[in-house]
Structure formats: C-alpha cells, structure tokens
Amino acid sequence: MDGWTIFFIFFFTIAALVPALWSIGGLIRGNRGFWPGVVGVGWAVVLMVVTIVGIATKWGGCSSGSATSADAITCYNGTAASGCKPDVWKVECGRSSPGCAAILPGAFCPKGQKPVFVFCEPFQSGGVKQPWATWSDLSFIAAGLWLLWFLQYFAVPGTLRLDSAIDNPMITIGWLSVTYGMIVIFMGPPSQWFHASIKEWAGWFDSMSVVIWLTFNAVYVWYMIIAAMWGRGRGIARPITVLCFWLGLGITFGAIGAKFPDARLIFYFISGGLWGVAEVVYASVAASANGVTYRRTWWLFVINVSVLAVTMGIWIFFNDGIVKTGCIGRQDIPGHAFFHILASFSTMLTFLSFASERRVSS
C-alpha cells in the first residue's frame, strides 16, 4: 500500500471509531440519546462487512457473471481513441477482451496504447482496483456517525437550550434527522463497492447512493417551502410526507437507472437541480412570506455552496467521461479521493444548514 492509501485508512477509521465508541459507551451508561449513533454503528458495520467480504473474495473475480462497468478503461493510441475498452476482470484472468487486440499479461491495454481509467485513478490487481477512491469513502461513514452522535445533545435536558418556538426536525431525534445520518453513512460503502470491484452492478449502487442524498435534500427543502415555512405541516405529516416522496422518487430513479445505465448521470443533475432550485426559492420566499416565517443561517449556506462548487469542480476535473484524454497525466493524483472527502464534509455542512433554521417572524 502507498502512503495515500495508508493515510486514508488510518485517518478515517479513527475518525469513525471515535463517535462510534462514544455512542456505544453513552448508551451503556444509560443515556438513551445515543441510540441513533449506535444504530448508525450497526448500519455501518453491516455495510462494511459486505465490502470486506467482497474484497476478500475478489468480488467473484473470473467466476462472476457480472461484467466490468462500461468504459472502465479506454485505450488510447496517442490522442486518438483505439476503440479498445477492455473488460478489467477478463484481462486480469487472462481472457480475451472483445474489441481489443492481444493484451500482454500485467497490462490493461494492447502494446503501445495508453489506458485511461475511470475517474483517472490507475487500477491495481486483486480485490481493490482503486485503493485511493475506495478507502477515502470511509470519510462518509465518519461523517454520518458524527452527525448521529451529535443528535444526543437534543435529547439531554439542559445540555442544549432551544427556543420553545423552534420546530426544526434536524434539531430533534426523529425520523428525518436519523434518516439523514443513515443516508450519509450509506454514501460510503456503495462507492467502495464500485471503486474496489469496477463491476457494473456496483456502479448502480454508487450512483444511487448519491442520488438518494440529493433527492432527500430536494424533497426536504421543497416541503419546507410548500408547507412548513407557512406554519403548517410541522407535525407527524412532515416526516411521513418527506419520506414517502423521497422513497417514491428514489425507487423510480433506481429502477430506471438499473434499466438504462446512461440515465444515472442525468439523475445527478435532476435531483441536484431540484435541490438547487429549492434553495433559491427558499431564500427568496422566506423573506416575504406572510404569517410564520422560517429562515436558515445564511453564511452556512454560502460556505456549503462554495464547498460543493469546489467539490464538483474536482469531480469534473478527474472524470474520464468528461475530460476524456485529459486524465492522462493526472493519474498520479488522488483527485477522486479528494472529491469523496470534500463531499462527505459537505454532507455535514448541509445538515448544519438545515439545523440552523429558526422562526424569525410570526
């Protein structure tokens, strides 16, 4: 393992273990406010078991019927595409790859041709094809566990004083706040499955884990605009409505994405666009709403948007599907790993932005 891989594993494992152990210890001592953190630990363990088992078994390797994710490697002859897009596992197992000339052992492309790897990180042999991208995903588990650990402050009387007029689901231990933390944890392992295996099925999980986070944010903010901001629908109707719409959209996107893989990228922009438009409407309408008005801390929103902009810039810069041959020369930099880390940080900023919502007039 190289230095980056060791750093990602060590740093983010420690970052995840701290809130995990604190949550377990707090619940053992009788503080029931730690139960979201303990549930999150269980969720993370289950997901990581899948990851470890997959790595140990090399994701089925040559015996697996699942194909390599489309365009995982594209071979180039100079600056012109050669048309060779080898199946990673077939190459590793010494089998012929359709559309490609003979590929020498230990190489991913025919002699004289250069490979461009998905998200610009070179492949390794074995059960972890892209170690930087794989182990940087631990940052999502750490982020989700810290968020769920933080919720214990909202269950201990006197620890955090809240205005009695505040009715914000992200500063209570409830369905929406816990679901958000579980979604953040879920964004890590599915991405690991993809980057470690480079299998087509894993690509679906990777894409959908991001889409469900973006979709949750979009549905949540639109609900705040349509109902909660006007002083209505802030009871049990809120989690039921938000979760039902979120699940409905998630299942729809997931089904379409399974049938049409090219649609997954489109769903990034649809779900992210819905969220972005909702934030603009929220900022505009809240200022002029009649009756009860709720607003969030503006600078948290600005910081989050700025981090997201940098994050998406890195994603584009190290995305072989967008920059094409531009990946050549960037494959010694863990760019996609940095994208994961910034994205996990953004999930925490998004939560804090949601949690900052306060009643400003009534």
The total number of structural domains in the chain stands at: 1
Per-residue pLDDT tens digits for 133-160: 999 999 999 999 999 999 988 765 444 4
Per residue in 97-133, pLDDT tens? 777 878 887 788 888 888 888 999 999 988 999 999 9
Does residue 279 belong to any structural domain of this protein?
yes
Q: Is the model's pLDDT at 164 over the cut of 50?
A: no
In a domain, 68, yes or no: no
- Answer yes or no: is pLDDT of 173 > 90: no
pLDDT in tens, 328-353: 777 888 999 999 999 999 999 999 99
Range(s) of the domain holding residue 285: 3-62+125-361
Contact 113, 161 (CB under 8 A): no
The 8-class DSSP code of residue 66 comes to P
Instruction: Give the residue ranges of DSSP H helices in 102-199.
Output: 131-136, 138-150, 175-186, 189-197
Residue closest to 347 by CA, chosen among 181, 234, 108, 159: 181
Phi-psi region of 328 (alpha: psi -120 to 50; beta: other; left: phi over 0): beta
Would 85 be classed as within a structural domain? no
The Cα 94–Cα 105 span in angstroms is: 7
Output 298-307 pairs: Cβ under 8 A, ≥24 positions apart. Answer: 300/349, 300/352, 300/353, 300/356, 301/353, 303/349, 304/346, 304/349, 304/350, 304/353, 307/342, 307/345, 307/346, 307/349
* Window from 14-28, 102-116, 216-230, 286-300 with minimum mean pLDDT: 286-300
The average pLDDT across 275-291 equals 80
- Residue that has been written with the tokens 């214990």 in this structure: 152
Task: Say if 77 falls within a structural domain.
Answer: no
Residue 165 included in any domain: yes
Has residue 322 got a pLDDT over 70? Answer: yes
pLDDT value of residue 298:
85
Residue 213, domain member (yes or no): yes
CB 143 within 8 A of CB 348: yes
CA angle 98, 100, 105 (to 5 degrees): 105
At 168 the pLDDT is 83
Residue 305 maps to a domain: yes
The per-residue pLDDT for 19 is: 97
pLDDT of 274 above 90: yes
